[in-house]
Amino acid sequence: MKNIILFGKPGAGKGTQAVFLRDHFNLIHISTGDVFRYNIKNQTPLGIMAKQYMDNGDLVPDEVTIQMLESEVDKRPDAAGFIFDGFPRTISQAEALDGFLSKKDMAIAATLALDVDEDILVSRLLSRGKDSGRADDQDEEKIRNRFAEYNEKTAPLIAYYKAQEKFHAIDGSRPIEAIADHLTRIVDQL
């Protein structure tokens, strides 16, 4: 089983590469944002709980998020593996993910980090914002704030996964096909 974490700042190309990896290796792509939206829209018990936190302006506790992810994994017992996109974002979340996977005799095989210069990402996101209408992709100050948040909270995961020898940095500024080829070579060796 190949369980992968796709890692990178907003605009790094995680969504594009997740689709490629999903299709090429027959993996299940679990986007934390999609899981949240599904649970809230369908008013599942976890979705109702998450919405209460969000409505109060609070972050959804890691335990709730982990339960949602665990539910997604449980729905697919015959999966060849999973791509975790958007989770973990902190060391405590990584430890919780490791714990829940361990209970299922599973583990993260690799963390694939798409590394792109922030100025390139700003340009990508502003362009995406024009096409998608996403408000958070239309304001450079908000974009740079998201990078600062990422650098503060998520970047420490690099050391966490390097210590486990599961971290792979990939130059995400190259053409999509070149990135996909590099990712394929890494995943083939897992």
User: What single-letter amino acid sits at 169?
Assistant: A
Determine whether 76 is an active site residue.
Answer: no
Residue 30 has pLDDT above 90, yes or no: yes
Query: Considering 37, 41, 76, 134, which one is annotated as catalytic?
Result: 134
Determine whether 89 is an active site residue.
Answer: yes
Poorest-pLDDT segment among 5-9, 123-127, 139-143, 184-188: 139-143
Instruction: Look up residue 18 and give its two tokens.
Output: 């997740």
Can you list the domains of the chain with their CATH numbers? 4-29+82-188 (3.40.50.300)
Residue 107: band (very low, low, confident or very high) from pLDDT cuts 50, 70, 90: very high
Give the pLDDT score at 83.
96
Determine whether 146 is an active site residue.
Answer: yes
| Mean pLDDT of all residues in 35-47 | 89
Query: Considering 22, 51, 89, 166, which one is annotated as catalytic?
Result: 89
Residue 178: band (very low, low, confident or very high) from pLDDT cuts 50, 70, 90: very high
- In whole angstroms, what is the distance from residue 124 CA to residue 142 CA? 14
Helix (H, G, I), strand (E, B) or coil at 29: strand
Kindly report whether the global pTM for this prediction surpasses the value 0.75.
yes
Residue listed under structure tokens 């590469």 = 17
CB 137, CB 129: distance < 8 Å: yes
